[in-house]
Amino acid sequence: MLAAATLICGAALVAGCASNDRSVVGSSGVPDEPGATAYPLTLDNCGETVTFGAAPRRAVSLYQSSTEILLSLGLADRMVGTSTWFDPVLGHLVESDATVPRLADNDASLETVLGVEPDLVTSASAHTFTPAVVADRDRFAQLGVPTYQSPSVCVDATVAGEDVTRDRPLTVDTLYREIRELAAIFDVQERGSALVDTLRARMNAATAAAGVGAERPTVAFWFSGIDTPYMAGCCSAPGLLAAEVGAVNVFADARDDWPEVNWEILADRDPDVLVLGDLSRKRVDGDSLDTKIAFLESNPVTKELSAVRERRYVVLTGSELDPGIRAVDAVEKLADGLRSTGR
């Protein structure tokens, strides 16, 4: 199968093969106006030039947020596997998700992915496209398997392995771009346009209702980890959420997506509100909400935080702290949470 795919790729007939075609869709993404995709479609995707000769029929998604975009575009019948889950799938996607094989709850092996003979592999994480986890994109290209990396990973960012350092904050337009590009790849541009319109309307309503006053509340986003917690830096999904509701991330001076900090630094910055990730995966201490709160309220340093003393917590799922279509849900929850804490 792989040898055959490589030969077809050389003929530039299989979707996703590298191409010298210069009709590249660049950093602005695909056109906003929906319409039938004209193949071959060439995209400049996170530093890789990929060409699609036809709509994929056997897609594998290696990350939950990427999976939920494909399912939201009504593409379950063109998916042959998913992996790397943090939470239960969005409620309205349960039925369609049940029709797609789950290759692994965590990270799938390269052998497992190749075993379902994909004609496209997508991911919304720098983590999965590394040799130590699944495989890097070059390896997939060598095997004749096209890949698509979420722009939220690489736009205005430097990616070194699984580490992402951002030059500028992530914007919601980058999330919409991913939806439009995937819709174009699969020739479902009208679905993509409708999904973006729905998300944009909800986002506009959520930000209009945020009601932040002249004194912007300060927040810290805790993803996981007890000894050295991972707190959100300036510019990934939590930075977008803070900006949309008019809050200030106390670690906005950190350029990494999830820098490791210490509790003394958090205490010194003493945010008004703590945003706590409630991760369903339970891999390490500090994944679940219960362990987070128990630690905060018993540790000699953290129990003196004003947000802890007054229990000013906002809870988001792990997936809502990642870039993806859940950003709208997260903004709605964060806006409601800030109002309920009086901030």
* Mean confidence (pLDDT) of the chain: 88
Whether the pLDDT of residue 156 is over 90: the answer is no
How do residues 190-214 score in pLDDT, each as one tens digit?
Answer: 999 999 999 999 999 988 877 655 5
Q: Rounded CA gap, 258 and 275, in Å? A: 14
What is the model's pLDDT at position 17? 42
- Percent of the chain residues topping a pLDDT of 70: 88
Q: Which CA distances in Å does 159 have to 134, 190, 227? A: 17, 32, 26
Instruction: Indicate the domain borders of the chain.
Output: 2-172, 209-340
| Averaged pLDDT for residues 142-154 | 94
What is the model's pLDDT at position 34? 72
Of 68, 67, 64, 66, nearest to 87 by C-alpha is 64
Place of tokens 């400049």: 44
Sequence-distant (6+) residues with CB within 8 A of 123 are 61, 62, 63, 66, 84, 129, 147, 148, 149, 150
CA-only gyration radius of the chain, Å: 20
CATH superfamily of 2-172: Nitrogenase molybdenum iron protein domain (3.40.50.1980)
Tokens encoding 280: 């369903």
Q: What pairs with residue 313 in β-bridges?
A: 274
Q: Rounded CA gap, 234 and 227, in Å? A: 22
How do residues 94-126 score in pLDDT, each as one tens digit?
Answer: 999 999 999 999 999 999 999 999 999 999 998
What is the model's pLDDT at position 25? 40
How do residues 319-336 score in pLDDT, each as one tens digit?
Answer: 999 899 999 999 999 999
- To the question of domain 209-340 being in CATH 3.30.70.360, the answer is no
What is the model's pLDDT at position 30? 66
How do residues 78-95 score in pLDDT, each as one tens digit?
Answer: 999 999 998 899 999 999
Confidence of residue 162 (pLDDT cuts 50, 70, 90): confident
Q: Rounded CA gap, 16 and 292, in Å? A: 43
What is the model's pLDDT at position 214? 58
* Mode of pairing for the β-strands spanning 273-278 and 248-249: unpaired
How do residues 282-316 score in pLDDT, each as one tens digit?
Answer: 777 778 899 999 999 999 999 999 999 999 999 99
Confidence of residue 8 (pLDDT cuts 50, 70, 90): very low
The H or E element containing residue 273 is strand 273-278
- Percent of the chain residues topping a pLDDT of 90: 73
